[in-house]
Structure 1
Amino acid sequence: MVVSAPTITATQTSDHSSYWITTFGCQMNKADSERMAGILEAMGYQQASAELDADLVLYNTCTIRDNAEQKVYSYLGRQAQRKRSNPNLTLVVAGCVAQQEGEALLRRVPELDLVMGPQHANRLETLLLQVQSGQQVVATEDHHILEDITTARRDSSICGWVNVIYGCNERCTYCVVPSVRGKEQSRWPEAIRLEMEGLAAQGFKEITLLGQNIDAYGRDLPGITPEGRRQHTLTDLLHHVHNVEGIERIRFATSHPRYFTERLIDACADLPKLCEHFHIPFQSGDNDVLRAMARGYTVERYQRIIDRIRQRMPDASLSADVIVAFPGETDAQFRRTLQLVESIGFDQVNTAAYSPRPNTPAASWDDQLPEGVKVARLQELNALVEASARQRNARYAGRVVEALAEGLNPKDPTQLMGRTRTNRLTFFNARGSDGSSHRPGDLVKVRIDAVRSFSLTGTPLPAAGEH
């Protein structure tokens, strides 16, 4: 999964009904926060001017790495102190830390009103009503995720998340996700398409289909085709939703190499709306480490996937996740990870040093590596990743790309920022040299004038240049 810095959603109601959500972690958490924001708005909450002005503060948390979890506790400490002088403040912890810690969170932070795991995001209103009746609530039991997700308050009006499968049935030895996100629950294709049609009607142009392990989509749904294969797969879903009118681009994340099939790759190459960008974590470039991680594939299998993608879509961009300093990882094994990064030439890699997580097998192993080794290996890997990204980005110099304008450049309001089909962040002037103007939601042909490791800058072409 891809992990990012905390993002903020702010919203507020009349009188004493304001709220503030801080989101930590992955795209799944961001999508959950949008749903919870929509529920709060439907309950009458409105935008707070600042976190410290809010009457309800909700932290949607991430536990994939220890530093993310500790950051949550530092935020909670400030709010707990505030609640001691303002007992009307409602304090909520949602997400993966909530699921992992459960009632232990109440013992550590007794000022909390509600602790709720990811499976309960759609139940926020019901749970808050219990809080308002005077209860201190913990909701971490297994729960079937209902199809009541139409209330999401989207942070963007151009690009939207659509969940297609919740939870994860994998048992990677380092990963806490299955225990905090629960077992796999796929949504029916008709419900997914209906949500996409609703977003298209609102003017959305791009959809990212989300799943913790999206390639496993449909494994829990009944049905077998006459050919004897599962009736519901990610490939079938892509065909099912591809012709939703108004949606110009479709992406999906996050993939698992074990389930990434040639049939899926062919669909991405053949369906015009599917973007040529693939996020496929490999985690290690050494087969023995992959076996210890219980990943279920080899480096050779991963390489075949990449080769097939580049055979069908030579310009496709590739991103991945990797963990260094896994318990017992030798220097030679680490070097094999570096070799894989260098040989494949990724456009982007999310890197992390191994962090022991509660209730995972690897956390109890005796061969944990020292922090100094973790830091040194991560620094060496990051330098290689940046060099690879810079080299991959160089191919865009002077080229004309199609960018979907998502909004204004916050550092330069005369510029728009958007992304190419290959997911490269691109900046360009809102006004073209021919006097034409562009706005968020437009698909713009841009000639790239400057390349950096992780972004591009270019000039929008006149309309005639689009042909």
Structure 2
Amino acid sequence: MTVSTNSPRGSYWITTFGCQMNKADSERMAGILESMGYSQGHGEHSADLVLYNTCTIRDNAEQKVYSYLGRQAQRKRENPHLTLVVAGCVAQQEGESLLRRVPELDLVMGPQHANRLDVLLAQVEAGQQVVATEEHHILEDITTARRDSSVCGWVNVIYGCNERCTYCVVPSVRGQEQSRLPEAIKLEMEGLAAQGFKEITLLGQNIDAYGRDLPGITPEGRRSHTLTDLLHQVHDVEGIERIRFATSHPRYFTDRLIDACADLPKVCEHFHIPFQSGDDELLRAMARGYTVDRYRRIIERIRSRMPEASISADAIVAFPGESDAQYRRTLALIEEIGFDLVNTAAYSPRPNTPAATWPNQLTEAVKVERLQEINALVEQTAKARSARYAGRSVEVLAEGVNPKDSSQLMGRTRTNRLTFFPIAKADGSSHKAGDLVTVTIDQVRPFSLSGKLG
């Protein structure tokens, strides 16, 4: 539980690596620090407490953390009063070995301990060097996050992951699935609505698994807590105009969920559903639990119910043993489906994952070549998808001023396209963050749009 204090403790700086879950964790940890009396600093090289919330999904993200830590360790040797914290997935993965590598660290804490930051820092202030990576039940989140946006907010609905994809380190660093109760989720959303938030993204590492660890069976014999049920339960929160969710898993994505998204007006027509590979043999090697045809049927069902829906995804190239023909099937699937966005990555061996030990690893040269080719295709496909907006009027939720042009606001369409438009209205007044604005698109780019008012 966070204990409030009015005593100033200096400044803090949080650097966040990785996924939306990490960003949400960082917001909560910032809220805890401010309730303890810290204030947000002006940079990591002047703050009194520096926290790195880390990602281990790929090796380059992990190595970047060590580079940052090297500079902070030097600061710590010159200023022993500096508090140095590593949180997140690298902390969970490395544990005490991080202290051996960077003995200047004060606190190493895994993702399950984000809500206990105040308790752990109290141990640091008592003179301890703390490692918190043990399995921990995530108690209902009673912290107050320091939100980076005043319009769009993250709400965690399920922590952890029970999947065992052969390339993925997430289950070993984020722990077993733990679903929050729907009443608590709705209460948090009502609190955000009262603060003026307009859009909520429900978050989970595998959000379609929501509720399967909660008790209850309906008279029809299905689980009484599912993501579909949750969407119905939170849809009527007054003040919230838009609802999104991420990240989905094709194995658990149901027709019932698609129907709910089509029927509930606040749920945005945007789906992020990773496919990872366009080849069934590779999907089996990845232990993904679905086929390419199964994935196609999901997309077909979405587009039959919501023709305007945007589809984004994740894909891995150069997975161990991936032949050129298998790689080409991934390219073919991208062309066939016409994704609005695909996040791509070359396979990176991760500790304690089966695929990392396989002998059929591909060379770095192959990884670079395939990644460059697939990225070019993704941009081409995204450009083709963006073209459909030209000349159309779309609803944009204004999120803030364009940092590159102070005469413009920026926000997102319901389909999640970043859009820029003028602040000034014809009558001389101005739009502001939080406004829902009708924009007529006159410029299209692969990953963003621009338009005029009306």
TM-score range, shorter chain: over 0.9
Q: Partner residue of 1:203? A: 196
Matched to 2:117, the amino acid is L
> 1:182-201 counterparts in 2 under 5 A?
182-201=175-194
Q: Partner residue of 2:428? A: 435
**3-state SS of 2:236 partner:** coil
Q: CA deviation at 1:437?
A: 2.1
Q: Partner residue of 1:465? A: none
Q: Partner residue of 1:125? A: 118
User: In the aligned structure 2, how far is the partner of 1:354 from the partner of 1:49?
Assistant: 36
Q: CA deviation at 1:433?
A: 3.1
Q: Partner residue of 1:75? A: 68
**2:98 is the counterpart of 1:105:** yes
Q: CA deviation at 1:247?
A: 0.1
Matched to 2:181, the amino acid is W
RMSD of aligned Cα (Å): 0.9
Q: CA deviation at 1:270?
A: 0.2
Per-residue CA deviations over 1:72-101 (Å, capped at 9, x if unaligned) read 000000000110010111100000000000
Q: Indicate conservation of the 8 Å contact 2:158/2:203, yes or no.
A: yes
Q: Partner residue of 1:30? A: 23
Q: Partner residue of 1:422? A: 415
Q: Indicate conservation of the 8 Å contact 1:255/1:280, yes or no.
A: yes
Per-residue CA deviations over 1:262-281 (Å, capped at 9, x if unaligned) read 00000000000000000000
Q: Partner residue of 2:136? A: 143
**3-state SS of 2:251 partner:** helix
> 1:317-328 counterparts in 2 under 5 A?
317-328=310-321
User: In the aligned structure 1, how far is the partner of 2:7 from the partner of 2:16?
Assistant: 24
Q: Indicate conservation of the 8 Å contact 1:117/1:139, yes or no.
A: yes
User: In the aligned structure 2, how far is the partner of 1:255 from the partner of 1:406?
Assistant: 25
Matched to 2:253, the amino acid is F
Per-residue CA deviations over 1:181-234 (Å, capped at 9, x if unaligned) read 000000000000000000000000000000000000000000000000000000
Q: Indicate conservation of the 8 Å contact 1:432/1:459, yes or no.
A: no
Q: CA deviation at 1:53?
A: 1.5
Q: Partner residue of 1:361? A: 354
User: In the aligned structure 1, how far is the partner of 2:9 from the partner of 2:161?
Assistant: 39
Q: Indicate conservation of the 8 Å contact 1:80/1:109, yes or no.
A: yes
Q: CA deviation at 1:26?
A: 0.3
> 1:49-448 counterparts in 2 under 5 A?
49-448=42-441
Matched to 1:278, the amino acid is F
Q: Indicate conservation of the 8 Å contact 1:35/1:149, yes or no.
A: no
User: In the aligned structure 1, how far is the partner of 2:376 from the partner of 2:411?
Assistant: 26
* Residue 40 of structure 2, aligned match among 37, 47, 54: 47
Q: Indicate conservation of the 8 Å contact 1:150/1:195, yes or no.
A: no
User: In the aligned structure 1, how far is the partner of 2:298 from the partner of 2:334?
Assistant: 15
Q: Indicate conservation of the 8 Å contact 2:32/2:143, yes or no.
A: no
User: In the aligned structure 1, how far is the partner of 2:42 from the partner of 2:53?
Assistant: 19
User: In the aligned structure 2, how far is the partner of 1:160 from the partner of 1:242?
Assistant: 15
Q: Per the alignment, do residues 438 and 176 of structure 1 end up closer, same or farther by CA in structure 2, a change over 3 Å counting? A: same
Q: Partner residue of 2:3? A: none
**3-state SS of 1:30 partner:** helix
Per-residue CA deviations over 1:297-351 (Å, capped at 9, x if unaligned) read 0000000000000000001000000000000000000000000000000000000
Matched to 1:101, the amino acid is E
User: In the aligned structure 1, how far is the partner of 2:184 from the partner of 2:270?
Assistant: 25
**3-state SS of 2:401 partner:** strand
User: In the aligned structure 1, how far is the partner of 2:113 from the partner of 2:34?
Assistant: 17
Q: CA deviation at 1:148?
A: 2.9
**3-state SS of 2:431 partner:** coil
**3-state SS of 1:53 partner:** coil
User: In the aligned structure 2, how far is the partner of 1:150 from the partner of 1:18?
Assistant: 19
Identity of aligned residues (%): 83
User: In the aligned structure 2, how far is the partner of 1:16 from the partner of 1:211?
Assistant: 33
Q: Indicate conservation of the 8 Å contact 2:275/2:313, yes or no.
A: yes
Q: CA deviation at 1:172?
A: 0.1
Q: Indicate conservation of the 8 Å contact 1:310/1:316, yes or no.
A: yes
Per-residue CA deviations over 1:136-162 (Å, capped at 9, x if unaligned) read 000000001111344111111100000
Q: Number of aligned pairs?
A: 449
User: In the aligned structure 2, how far is the partner of 1:147 from the partner of 1:172?
Assistant: 28
Matched to 2:432, the amino acid is R
Matched to 2:97, the amino acid is A
User: In the aligned structure 2, how far is the partner of 1:193 from the partner of 1:200?
Assistant: 10
User: In the aligned structure 2, how far is the partner of 1:105 from the partner of 1:201?
Assistant: 41
Matched to 1:372, the amino acid is A
**3-state SS of 2:45 partner:** helix
User: In the aligned structure 2, how far is the partner of 1:179 from the partner of 1:383?
Assistant: 33
User: In the aligned structure 2, how far is the partner of 1:435 from the partner of 1:88?
Assistant: 52
User: In the aligned structure 1, how far is the partner of 2:118 from the partner of 2:9?
Assistant: 17
Q: CA deviation at 1:16?
A: 5.0
Q: Indicate conservation of the 8 Å contact 1:21/1:59, yes or no.
A: yes
Matched to 2:64, the amino acid is K
**3-state SS of 2:267 partner:** coil
More deviation, 281-290/146-155: 146-155
Matched to 1:97, the amino acid is V
Matched to 1:205, the amino acid is K
User: In the aligned structure 1, how far is the partner of 2:174 from the partner of 2:202?
Assistant: 17
Q: Per the alignment, do residues 16 and 230 of structure 1 end up closer, same or farther by CA in structure 2, a change over 3 Å counting? A: closer
**3-state SS of 2:17 partner:** strand
* Residue 453 of structure 1, aligned match among 443, 446, 450: 446
Per-residue CA deviations over 1:102-135 (Å, capped at 9, x if unaligned) read 0000000000000000000000000000011111
User: In the aligned structure 2, how far is the partner of 1:445 from the partner of 1:434?
Assistant: 16
